[in-house]
Amino acid sequence: MAGEPQADCLFCKIVSGEVPATVVRETPTTLAFRDINPQAPTHVLVIPKVHYPDAATLAGAEPGVAADLLREAAEVAAMDKIDASGFRIVFNTGAGAGQTVFHTHAHVLGGRGLQWPPG
Ligand code: 5GP
Ligand code: ZN
């Protein structure tokens, strides 16, 4: 069924606790944890507990959970005190854009100067 856990998905395993992560926030629908290979002083991944391959697919299927994800991204920024200085929410979508884990995740990046346009 759509949204069900996938046996071969790393982030489903983090949701279930099978793979450990440094969790910083949890809600009934989302989980936020620190990226294992941080690209900025704050680099947190916010994911839905349900499995969809990317942000657009999640938004089409469960728009309420997509909204939860964005709200949580902002809460992470406030928690790490990067909300005033500015932060970036990134959804890499597709292998050509650098997506490597095909379970929706928002990168929340901040705590340093951020270039525009991104690479
Ligand atoms: P993507 O490249 O799909 O946009 O982002 C995947 C992110 O997941 C990368 O930034 C990568 O560092 C992170 N990542 C990959 N494996 C793990 C892991 O086992 N634990 C954590 N916390 N992050 C991971
Ligand atoms: Zn998954």
Residue 101 resides in a domain: yes
CB of residue 93 inside a 6 A radius of ligand 1: no
**H helix or E strand, kind and range, residue 106:** strand 106-110
**What pLDDT is attached to residue 75?**
98
CA atoms within 13 A on the CB side of 69: 27
Cα 85 to ligand 2 centre (Å): 32
Cα 36 to ligand 1 centre (Å): 6
Q: What ligand 1 atom has the least distance to the C-alpha of 19?
A: 19
Residue 115 resides in a domain: no
Residue 90 resides in a domain: yes
For 13, counting Cβ atoms within 10 Å of its Cβ (0-12 exposed, 13-18 middle, 19+ buried), the class is middle
In the chain, the percentage of residues whose pLDDT exceeds 70 is 100
CATH of the domain at 44: 3.30.428.10
Residue 84 resides in a domain: yes
Q: What ligand 1 atom has the least distance to the C-alpha of 34?
A: 22
Range of the domain at 82: 10-110
Q: Which ligand is closest to the CA of 20, given by its number?
A: 1
- Is residue 109 within 8 Å of 87, Cβ to Cβ? yes
Residue 4 resides in a domain: no
Centre a 10 Å sphere on the Cβ of residue 4 and count the other Cβ atoms it contains: 8
Residue 117 resides in a domain: no
- Is residue 30 within 8 Å of 90, Cβ to Cβ? no
pLDDT in tens, 40-58: 999 999 999 999 999 999 9
pLDDT in tens, 76-115: 999 999 999 999 999 999 999 999 999 999 999 999 999 9
Active-site residue, 51 included: no
**What pLDDT is attached to residue 53?**
98
Residue 67 resides in a domain: yes
Number of domains in the chain: 1
Residue 29 resides in a domain: yes
CA 69/CA 10 separation, integer angstroms: 18
pLDDT in tens, 15-48: 999 999 999 999 999 999 999 999 999 999 999 9
Cα 83 to ligand 2 centre (Å): 28
